[in-house]
Amino acid sequence: MRLVASRGHLNQIVADARARAPIEACGILVGKQRGNDFEVSDVVKASNVVDSPTRFEIDPEELYRVMKGAEERGLDVIGFYHSHLGYGAGPSAVDLEHMKFLPNLVWLICDIFAGGTRFGAFTMRGDKPVELGLVVT
């Protein structure tokens, strides 16, 4: 299983994460699932309504608007991105709890730290997180 995203999409996420620090940045991944691959067509920045440095929540109305817009273009919401502030690109305990409720979506984590950034992409299979390969186009 892989997540396929352009360098531009990843740069957009990094810029959002750096601009919103010390609050977790978050957004919505729009695209298509093709076989075992999730292909990103668009990255949509979203408000973190809890303004927290350790968790995020996207306003349901905002998510609904993005879902409708994706549907009109023949696309789907395939997942979410959010930032971690120097504590790794793996899912936190809070992330894992949320991932259980939306198991067939991608959770892309962008860890920002003084020396740079790193990404991790995950989905849930049963009650276990599965890391996706990240393919940058």
Encoded tokens for 103: 């198991």
Question: What distance in Å separates the CA atoms of residue 123 and residue 21, rounded to the nearest whole number?
Answer: 25
| Total count of residues recorded for the chain | 137
The residues facing 33 across adjacent strands are 38
The residues facing 136 across adjacent strands are 5
62 is catalytic: no
Task: Report yes or no: 96 and 70 within 8 Å, Cβ to Cβ.
Answer: no
Catalytic one of 24, 39, 57, 97: 24
Active site residues: 24
